[in-house]
């Protein structure tokens, strides 16, 4: 997969691209990431990329010219999925990560200042927000999208099943996890996880996953199948 990130702060990505899963994915050839500083595409002698908004108002607005120039200079840009990071976009979900992971080329456009000149929106395919809060720019959002997509690529994770059990991959939140020691300061690992009975372990994990979702994210429960709904009824009865 190829991901081009269009930003005026490429140095923000140094640590992100040189650690952990992203670094390994690049080294193994599963991923190519290019950082495009759209400031270098400005025709202004001072490389200015923003200006005052027409009609007045606070702050500065990103001008269209350098961003159009930068994106159009990316090889294969017309066929790529072009995504604008903006608080006005649709909220990013795990389903979007799965969808993007099937694509060969993504272009992530990071905003800054008070936003984009409206005409820049004609350049992109989708607008995404990572949550109902305001950040200084789209760089952190582009890192989140990149990380969530790359870990779904075949071969990137050591255990190909691990991402399938993550929270949101199967609608439900992931249940509690334990490791050694079995008893830490009187806090013990549930016996069912120690007895080696795989069927019972599976039932326990499903039940605890539903319990955690019920307690923390009940809005996700409307997508349960019939068997999971029966487990939910048991979980609810245990709350009283």
Catalytic residues: 87, 114, 151, 166
DSSP 218-231: GGGGGG--HHHHHH
What is the rounded CA–CA span in Å between residue 178 and residue 192? Answer: 12
Q: Which among 115, 218, 101 is positioned nearest to 164, based on CA atoms?
A: 101
CA angle 232, 214, 187 (to 5 degrees): 100
Q: Output phi, psi for 61, to 5 deg.
A: -120, 140
Q: Give the tokens for residue 3.
A: 């991901």
What is the rounded CA–CA span in Å between residue 180 and residue 182? Answer: 5
Name the DSSP letter for residue 36: E
What is the rounded CA–CA span in Å between residue 93 and residue 88? Answer: 15
Backbone CA torsion sign across 72, 73, 76, 81: negative
- Whether residue 173 contacts residue 210, with contact meaning beta carbons closer than 8 Å, is answered with no
């Amino acid at each position: 997969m190829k991901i081009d990130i269009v930003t005026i702060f490429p140095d923000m990505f140094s640590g992100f691209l040189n650690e952990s899963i992203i670094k390994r994915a690049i080294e193994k050839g599963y991923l190519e990431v290019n950082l495009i500083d759209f400031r270098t595409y400005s025709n202004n002698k001072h490389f200015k990329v923003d200006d005052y908004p027409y009609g007045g108002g606070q702050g500065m607005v990103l001008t269209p010219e350098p961003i159009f120039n930068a994106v159009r200079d990316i090889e294969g840009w017309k066929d790529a999925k072009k995504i604008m990071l903006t608080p006005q976009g649709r909220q990013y979900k795990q389903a979007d990560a799965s969808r993007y992971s099937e694509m060969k080329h993504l272009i992530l456009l990071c905003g800054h200042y008070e936003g984009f000149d409206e005409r820049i929106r004609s350049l992109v395919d989708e607008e995404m927000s990572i949550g109902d809060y305001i950040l200084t720019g789209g760089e952190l959002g582009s890192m989140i999208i990149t990380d969530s997509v790359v870990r779904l690529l075949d071969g990137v994770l050591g255990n190909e099943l691990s991402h399938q059990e993550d929270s949101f991959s199967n609608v439900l939140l992931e249940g509690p996890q334990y490791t050694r020691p079995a008893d830490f300061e009187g806090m013990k690992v549930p016996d069912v996880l120690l007895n080696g009975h795989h069927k019972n372990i599976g039932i326990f994990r499903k039940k605890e996953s539903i319990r955690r979702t019920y307690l923390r994210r009940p809005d996700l429960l409307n997508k349960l199948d019939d068997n999971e709904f029966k487990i939910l009824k048991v979980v609810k009865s245990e709350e009283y």
